[in-house]
Chains A and B, each alone.
Chain A
Amino acid sequence: MGINRREFLRIAGLSTLMGLGGKAAWELVFPGQALAQYTSKPGALVAKRWAMVVDMRKMTESLAAKCIEACHSAHNVPNMAAPPVDPQVTISDNQKNRWQMKWLWTDSFEHAFPGQEQEHMQERLHKMQFLLLCNHCENPPCVRVCPTKATFRRPDGIVMMDMHRCIGCRYCMAGCPYGARSFNWRDPRPFIAKLNETYPTREKGVVEKCLFCEERLAKGQMPACVEASQGAIVFGDLTDPKSKVRELLRTQYTIRRKPQLGTNPHVFYII
């Protein structure tokens, strides 16, 4: 004998409930079993919109070098332009430029702020080396062009990368107007001077960039460059009117890189 009508309806009803309701239905039938196993760490720094202000009045070249060193050593960023000593290998300037891995780097005013330069500028601007990084745009072109959603925007404004998903198509590099993304043309591991064992490296064939130190924020620490900058870089919540970032933006004149492109960058510079 098969199942009777009543039994059939009961099973059909339950399966429909499971099918339609998914986890919520599971909770109804077996409450408490699918509890949240994953939570964010207490003490993590959170914000509605992270932003950064670089104070170029305090940022010297040696200080910028310190910030870059702090960032690149914390995140196992390889120095592809300086390969292990081998007299057989010579690297052209073109290759050096092509292989350079940039999370944090410096460049001149003309290169950093094209369109805003003039023939007769204040003299110090010609000499200044601006500290550049991913701008964590409100409207990031890299996110729009990524075919695998490896690059995505977090609700707190950080343009985050999921290296597991990156297929190395380099659309994002073409999309980013700031040159903030670098491609691993070769296995990066031999080019990392000193490995940070608590942070992963990358593989050949993925793109990488600055992530606003989201792994440090999660531990309640400020980004590595901010810590190394001796107050020349300020990082904070843009939606909080009392934050240091907002105070600086309120009292100082700041510029951003290529705002005319409509990406709404969130790294500000005080000149």
Chain B
Amino acid sequence: MPAPKPDLNTPAIMKLPEKERKCVMDLEFMRANHMQLLNDWRDEVVRNGNREFTGAGGKKYLASLQNTCMECHSNKTKFCDQCHNYAAVVPNCWGCHLDREKKQVARAEAK
């Protein structure tokens, strides 16, 4: 079975001009190390109170899974889950952190 490709087609990403469609670090780094980066964010925010992260391009981001990552990657099932399922890893982020997807689906259904 080929590895699934994360889906980047979300409204927040599509709204950005082509040149600015960049993650906090470059693609290769994020693909290999996003779990380590998220752990570092967690430790810096909770233990040291450092909430600002300077990305690869020198741009500053709020270090927050729920408020920064999920802002762009609002499609959790297509962006997070399908690779995690493929790799058989079960990160426990979502026990507490809210994803925006359910609400969007609910809204779409309401329409």
**Chain A complexes with chain B:** yes
In the complex, which residues of chain A have a beta carbon less than 8 angstroms from the beta carbon of B47?
152, 162
Pick from A39, A152, A197, A201: contact of B50, CB under 8 Å: A39
Pick from B3-11, B15-23, B92-100 the stretch touching chain A. Answer: B92-100
* Chain A interface mostly: loop
In the complex, which residues of chain B have a beta carbon less than 8 angstroms from the beta carbon of A38?
40, 44, 48, 50, 52-54, 63
In the assembled complex, the CB of A218 is this many whole angstroms from the nearest CB of chain B, namely 5
Pick from B66, B92, B103: contact of A200, CB under 8 Å: B66
In the complex, which residues of chain B have a beta carbon less than 8 angstroms from the beta carbon of A154?
49
A214 CB-CB contact with B under 8 Å: yes
CA distance A261 to B40 in the complex (A): 37
A218 close to B54 (CB less than 8 A): no
CA distance A214 to B51 in the complex (A): 11
B42 CB-CB contact with A under 8 Å: yes
B52 close to A164 (CB less than 8 A): no
A interface, size bucket: 20 to 34
A94 CB-CB contact with B under 8 Å: no
A164 close to B98 (CB less than 8 A): no
A203 CB-CB contact with B under 8 Å: yes
B96 close to A200 (CB less than 8 A): yes
CA distance A239 to B85 in the complex (A): 52
B42 close to A218 (CB less than 8 A): no
B interface, size bucket: 20 to 34
A195 CB-CB contact with B under 8 Å: yes
Q: Which residues 30-82 of B sit at the A interface, judged by CB distance below 8 A?
A: 40, 42, 44, 46-54, 62-63, 66-67
A62 CB-CB contact with B under 8 Å: no
A164 close to B54 (CB less than 8 A): no
In the complex, which residues of chain A have a beta carbon less than 8 angstroms from the beta carbon of B53?
37-38
B54 close to A37 (CB less than 8 A): yes
Chain B CB count within 10 A is highest, among A39, A162, A203, for A39
In the complex, which residues of chain B have a beta carbon less than 8 angstroms from the beta carbon of A233?
none
Q: Which residues 13-65 of A sit at the B interface, judged by CB distance below 8 A?
A: 35-41, 44
Pick from B51, B67, B100: contact of A218, CB under 8 Å: B51
In the complex, which residues of chain B have a beta carbon less than 8 angstroms from the beta carbon of A203?
92, 95-96
Chain A residues with CB under 8 Å of chain B are 35-41, 44, 152, 154, 160, 162-164, 195, 197-203, 214, 218
Sample 7 A-B pairs with CB under 8 A, ordered by A number: A35-B54, A38-B50, A38-B52, A40-B52, A41-B62, A200-B98, A202-B96
User: What 9 A-B pairs are tightest by C-beta distance, nearest first?
Assistant: A38-B50, A203-B95, A38-B44, A200-B96, A162-B46, A39-B52, A200-B97, A37-B54, A41-B52
